[in-house]
Structure 1
Amino acid sequence: MALVNAGVVVLDCAEPEKLAEFYKSLLGAEETEVTANRVEIEGPSGMRMAFRRDVNATPPSWPRPENSLQVHLDFVVDDLDAAERGIVGLGGRPLEAKDPAGPHEERGFSDPAGHSFTVRGALTPTAPKQG
C-alpha cells in the first residue's frame, strides 16, 4: 500500500497566475484550485502542477555550473519543432545548453519565471545528466 495517494509538482514564482496560464496552455490543462497564493492545474493525462507565490523568487541559474539543477520537468512531444514554436509563442525561452553527445533529441527551455524544462520526442531516450 502506498504511503502517498497523489503528488503535485509545485513551482515557486512571483506571479503564480501568469505562470499557471503558461502551463495551462502548454499542457491543455484546467485550473483545479485557485487561492490568493497558489494556483493548481491538471492536464488531460492527469499530470498535476501548482504554482506558489514567493515574493522573493529568483529564477534558477541552470545550466550555469555554480548552482545544481534541483528540479527538472521533462515533457514528451510528437513534433519538437512545433513544440518549440508553441513554447516560444507562449513566452518560454530556449536555453543555450551544451547538447549531450549521442542520438538524444531533446531541447531545453525556461518558462516565463525562469524554471527550466526539457521537451523530447516520444521515442527518444533521455540523455544522461552532464556535470
Structure 2
Amino acid sequence: MTVDKTGVLVLGCAEPESLARFYAELLGATAGPAGSNGELILVTGRTGVVLGVRRDPDHLPPSWPPPEDSQQVHLRILVAADSLDEAEREAVALGARPVAAEEDGTRPDSRTTLRRYTDPAGHPFVLAAGREDLVPRSSDA
C-alpha cells in the first residue's frame, strides 16, 4: 500500500511574504504560513497547495536563460489559449518581467502558445496555453 503524498515545488527567496502574495494573486489563490516560524509560506488554490515559498536570506536569482547551460526547472502556469494576453497583462502588472523570445532562442510565433517571464525574485516561469480540460475557468469556481 502506498502512503498518500502531495508534492509541492518550493521557491527560495529573501522576502517570501511578497513572493507568495505575487503567486497567490497571479493564480487566484491564498497564501499563508505552513508553520509557526514563518520560514515557509504555502500558496493554496481550489485544488490544494500549488506552491511553497521559503525564506532564504542568501538567495541569488537564477540566470535564465543561461547561455551555456540548459534550463533546469521552471514553473509552468496553464491558461486557456484565448486568455493568454489577459494572463500576460495580469502577470506583468503584478511584477513579472518578460523574457524576450530573442533572448531565449524561441521562435517569435511561439508567443501564441507560450510566454516566458521571471517572477519578482528572478525565478523563471511561463504562461502556456493548456488543454481546455486542465485549465479551470472562473465559471467553474
After TM superposition, is the score higher than 0.5?
A: yes
Which structure 2 residues correspond to residues 1-131 of structure 1 after superposition, within 5 A? 1-2=1-2, 5-34=5-34, 35-78=37-80, 79-96=83-100, 97-100=104-107, 105-123=113-131
Shift of 1:4: 5.7
User: In the aligned structure 1, how far is the partner of 2:108 from the partner of 2:96?
Assistant: 25
TM-score, scaled relative to structure 2: 0.77
User: In the aligned structure 2, how far is the partner of 1:2 from the partner of 1:100?
Assistant: 43
Q: Deviations over 1:65-92 (max 9, x none)?
A: 2344222111111211101100000000
CA contact 2:30–2:45 (8 Å) conserved in 1 = yes
Aligned-partner SS, 1:18? helix
CA contact 1:61–1:67 (8 Å) conserved in 2 = no
Of Structure 1 and Structure 2, which has the larger fraction of its residues in helix? 2
User: In the aligned structure 2, how far is the partner of 1:92 from the partner of 1:2?
Assistant: 39
Deviates more, 1:86-95 or 1:34-43: 34-43
Shift of 1:101: 8.0
User: In the aligned structure 2, how far is the partner of 1:72 from the partner of 1:26?
Assistant: 16
User: In the aligned structure 2, how far is the partner of 1:7 from the partner of 1:46?
Assistant: 11
Q: Percent of aligned positions with the same letter in both sequences?
A: 43
CA contact 2:21–2:31 (8 Å) conserved in 1 = no
TM-score, scaled relative to structure 1: 0.82
Q: What is the letter of the counterpart of residue 61 of structure 1?
A: S
Measured on the aligned residues, the alpha-carbon RMSD in Å equals 2.3
User: In the aligned structure 2, how far is the partner of 1:65 from the partner of 1:112?
Assistant: 21
